[in-house]
Amino acid sequence: MTIKERQDELIEEFSMFDDWMEKYEYIIDLGKDVEGISDDLKSDDYIVQGCQSRVWLIPSKEGEQLHFQADSDAIITKGIVGMVVRVLSNATADEILKADLYFVEKIGLKEHLSPTRSNGLVSMIKKIKTYALAYLAKAI
């Protein structure tokens, strides 16, 4: 699946829900399903800078494809970072850098894009794009 297809899939999953409560319950469920990262791997190198909850993102590669593991100490954030990882994992660095991410807005979670939510999506996406750049520069 492409990044676009994975986004569309998420949008469809969320289209079942009518109100915010159901959406958040689903994000919480997604958060609980995220495998997470074991404590010994949670180093500062992988932390996504934010002031509210802590978020970690670890990259790995398989051929040209990049994969990401994610974790957070807050469940909602974990659900959100889980969605980001689901969309952007199994893609090439080039695809990641060129990706147009529209799923958050379509799902109706635009508030998480605001810069005041400093552990929000913007910094997670930025971190993943930085990893993609690092891959192209052969730094990972």
Q: Does 53 bind other proteins (CB under 8 A)?
A: yes
Q: Does 75 bind other proteins (CB under 8 A)?
A: yes
Residue 73 Cβ vs other proteins, minimum distance, rounded to whole Å? 6
34 burial level (CB within 10 Å; 0-12, 13-18, 19+):
buried
Q: Does 73 bind other proteins (CB under 8 A)?
A: yes
**Residue among 30, 132, 43 at smallest CA distance from 77:** 30
* DSSP-derived pairing of the beta strands 55-62 and 65-72: antiparallel
Residue 114 Cβ vs other proteins, minimum distance, rounded to whole Å? 12
51 is catalytic: yes
Q: Does 140 bind other proteins (CB under 8 A)?
A: no
* DSSP-derived pairing of the beta strands 65-72 and 91-92: antiparallel
Query: Applying CB under 8 A, which residues contact other proteins?
Result: 20-21, 24-25, 28, 51-54, 73-77, 119
Active site residues: 51
